[in-house]
Amino acid sequence: MSRVFITGSADGLGKMAARLLVEAGHEVVLHARSAARADDALKAVPGAQTALVGDLSSIAATIALAAQVNQLGRFDAVIHNAAVGFQEPRRVASVDGLPHVFAVNTLAPYMLTALIEPPKRLVYLSSGLHRSGDASLVDLAWERRPWQGTAAYSDSKLHDALLAFAIARRWPGVLSNALEPGWVATKMGGRGAPDDLQAAPTTQVWLAVSDEPAAMVSGGYFYHMKPRDTHPALRDVAAQERLIEACEGFSGVRLPG
C-alpha cells in the first residue's frame, strides 16, 4: 500500500485518480482550495484519509499547505494535478500580483516540491499544449507581453514538465515524471473534448504506485502509460535552472539540492 497526496482532487482528473487509488487499497490524502470543496472531495472519494485545504494561487497559503502535508508524515508519492485553464480573457492577478495561471500551475508545484518532504515518486500533470510553450522563460509574470490565455497555459504546462525533469536530475533518489492526460471532457477540458476520459487518470496512478519496470523510471514524459515526444527544451539543463531560479525569486522558497 502506498500513501499518495493529490493536489486539486476535489473534482476532475484529481478526483478520478483518487478514486482509482482508494479502490486499489492505497491511502490517499486529497486537497482543495477551500474548506467547502474539501468537504465535497471527501464525499466524492469515500475511503480517502482526509482532505487538506490550501489556495494554490497564494504563496502564503501554499507554504501553509506544505506544512500540513509534512505534519502527516512522509508520502510515497505526490501527484501535482491542480491547475487552472486557459479561459481567462485577461491577466487575472493573484493576491501576490502574479498571473493566476502562473501562480497555480507553475509556482505552486515548484513550492510544494521544494517544501514537502521528498516522497519516493513525484508526478506532474502537463499537457500536449506544452509543445507550444515559450522556452525562453522571458516575462513569466506577463508584465510586458500582451496577455494571451492559451499561451500562458501552454507556458505553465511546459514549466511543469521542466520541473519534473529538473527534479529527476537533481534528486536521483526520487522518481520524477510528467505526463499529458489528453484533451478530455472535464470542467477544464469542456464537453467537446475528444480524448478518452476514462483513460485520462490512469497514467498518473500508474506512475505513482505501479511496480512495473516501465513505471519505475525518472525523467520520463508519458501519455496513456507510454513514452511520448516532448518539447526539446525539457532536457535543456540551462532552461531547467532558469525556471528554478525564477520560481525561487517569485516565491522566496529555495529548492533543495
Dist. CA 234–CA 162, nearest whole Å:
5
For residue 221, indicate whether it is catalytic: no
Q: Supply 209's cell numbers.
A: 504506485
Catalytic-labelled residue, pool 15, 110, 124, 153: 153
- CA atoms 32, 92, 248, 58: torsion sign: negative
d(CA 221, CA 18): 21
The active-site residue out of 157, 187, 221, 226 is 157
> Measured between alpha carbons, how far is residue 116 from residues 78, 83, 123, 184, 212 in Å?
9, 18, 14, 30, 26
Residue 19 CB contacts under 8 Å (≥ 6 apart), including other chains: 44, 45
> How open is the CA angle 32-210-82, to the nearest 5 degrees?
20
In whole angstroms, give the CA distance from residue 216 to residue 225.
12
Is 157 labeled as catalytic in the residue annotation? yes
**Which residues make Cβ contacts (< 8 Å) with residue 226, sequence separation at least 6?**
none
Residues annotated as part of the active site: 153, 157
